[in-house]
Structure 1
Amino acid sequence: MERKEYSAGAVKLSFWFIEFRKVVELLHEGKNAEQIKSLALNENLFAAPTTLRANQIYHTVTGRIRALDESFIPLFTRSDLATQKLFALIAAMAYDTLFFDFVYEVIREKMILGTYEFSDSDVRVFFKDKQQQNEKVAGWTDATLVRLGRCYKTMLYEAGIIDKAKTARKILRPILDPDLVRWLEQNNMGAYVKALAGVR
């Protein structure tokens, strides 16, 4: 599992599940990255408001897909919707190390403790810890950290991991498909199983 440098880039990004699924399906049909990029930019594959946004969605979604071993593609196409959303979440976590750490250190810990909810103060504590551990994060503004926390909550909500409450968010422990668990373990991604299943 490759650990990338921490990034606040997620403030500009979304979960983009529908776009993720479209690209995976096109890859499954045999299209290559260049053909998909052409569809995204010339035929507005993602129904994006601008070419700039289409390009951003294309780069983010393909980056997330490349963060996983391509052997996930046939498994994704035959999985149910909930499992497909988990694949998209795992890809987002693999693409963004700080987001992975958030899920592993905040969501997983809450499930292990059996509290099954987290609040904005938990998000603040997570970022405060990271600022003490990492010079790059220490340089980010409070506004950036608030936006990053909001982005993480939105992605977890859209993946079906948390509810949309205004105050404390409930954590909805996902039911992991055995094929997904097996695939993660075979690809040295056992930490993702622990993160999503809430186990030590």
Structure 2
Amino acid sequence: MRKQEYSAGMVKLSFWFSEFCKVINLINQGKTLKEIKVLNLEENLFAAPTQDRAIQIFNTVSNRVKSLDQSFYSLFEQSDIATQKIINLIAIMKTDSLFFDFVYEVYREKLIIGSDELADSDIRIFFNNKQLQSEKVAKWTDYTLKRLGTCYKTMLMEAGLTDRASGIRKILKPILDKTLEQHLRDKGMELMVHALTGVR
């Protein structure tokens, strides 16, 4: 998987599952992303409070959709909601290297050692390590890192990978749909399978 530069941009973003569903649904109906972009401006597809937010949602969600091979689109529509949420999470991981590292290095490690708890201290340790590895992350403020940590917890919870508890969250290991797992392997995305199922 090609590594992008680390970014704290996710603090302004959401899981946007229904928006992701809507874009894939329109693509499967034969619409292009260019046409969906126009529709979004004309009809406020995502019921955004402002046009700026509508544009931001479209740009983010369309990047997530484009990060996946087109063969995922029909698979998405044939899948149950739990699997669709996992596919959305995979697209988020594909478009944000730091979040991918978090799921791979923290969530996966918890599954491997058999721990079912995700604590704020786990997130702090992750960011401390990244600050040692990356000059860019080292420059981020504690406030940014705290917001990013909250965002990461929300993404995992929305995808069904943790519960909603405040404080320490319970990890819910996903049962990866066999068709999706095989599809990820066929597309050379085994690391995603490992990250989500806790494989060394």
Task: Give yes or no for TM over 0.5.
Answer: yes
What's the offset of the Cα at 1:3? 1.1
One-letter amino acid matched to 1:194: H
Whole-angstrom distance in 1 between the partners of 2:39 and 2:127 = 38
Aligned identity (percent) is: 60
Equivalent residue of 1:195, what SS?
A: helix
Counterpart of 2:39?
39
Whole-angstrom distance in 2 between the partners of 1:38 and 1:76 = 24
Whole-angstrom distance in 2 between the partners of 1:41 and 1:116 = 43
Whole-angstrom distance in 1 between the partners of 2:39 and 2:183 = 30
Q: Residues 152-194 of structure 1, C-alpha deviation per residue, up to 9 Å, x if partnerless?
A: 1111111100011112111100010011001111111100000
Counterpart of 1:186?
186
Q: Residues 4-55 of structure 1, C-alpha deviation per residue, up to 9 Å, x if partnerless?
A: 1100000000000000000000001110011101111110100000000000
**How many residues were matched structurally?**
200
Summarize the alignment of residues 127-138 of structure 1 with structure 2, pairs less than 5 Å apart: 127-138=127-138
Whole-angstrom distance in 2 between the partners of 1:70 and 1:13 = 23
Q: Structure 1: 5+ residue runs without aligned partners?
A: none
Equivalent residue of 1:111, what SS?
A: helix
Counterpart of 2:139?
139
Which segments of structure 1 move beyond 4 Å, counting only runs of 4 or more? none
Summarize the alignment of residues 55-66 of structure 1 with structure 2, pairs less than 5 Å apart: 55-66=55-66
Counterpart of 1:88?
88
One-letter amino acid matched to 2:30: G
Q: TM-score, normalised on structure 2?
A: 0.99
Counterpart of 2:28?
28
One-letter amino acid matched to 1:39: L
Whole-angstrom distance in 1 between the partners of 2:178 and 2:77 = 15
Whole-angstrom distance in 2 between the partners of 1:96 and 1:127 = 15
Whole-angstrom distance in 1 between the partners of 2:156 and 2:40 = 25
One-letter amino acid matched to 2:86: L
Counterpart of 1:72?
72
Whole-angstrom distance in 2 between the partners of 1:38 and 1:156 = 31
Q: Residues 103-161 of structure 1, C-alpha deviation per residue, up to 9 Å, x if partnerless?
A: 00000000100011110000000000000000110110100000000011111111100
Whole-angstrom distance in 2 between the partners of 1:41 and 1:128 = 41
Summarize the alignment of residues 88-127 of structure 1 with structure 2, pairs less than 5 Å apart: 88-127=88-127
Are residues 1:8 and 2:8 paired?
Answer: yes
Q: TM-score, normalised on structure 1?
A: 0.99
Q: Structure 2: 5+ residue runs without aligned partners?
A: none
Q: Residues 42-83 of structure 1, C-alpha deviation per residue, up to 9 Å, x if partnerless?
A: 101000000000000000001011111111001001100000
Equivalent residue of 1:19, what SS?
A: helix
Whole-angstrom distance in 1 between the partners of 2:166 and 2:151 = 14
One-letter amino acid matched to 1:62: S
Whole-angstrom distance in 2 between the partners of 1:153 and 1:42 = 34
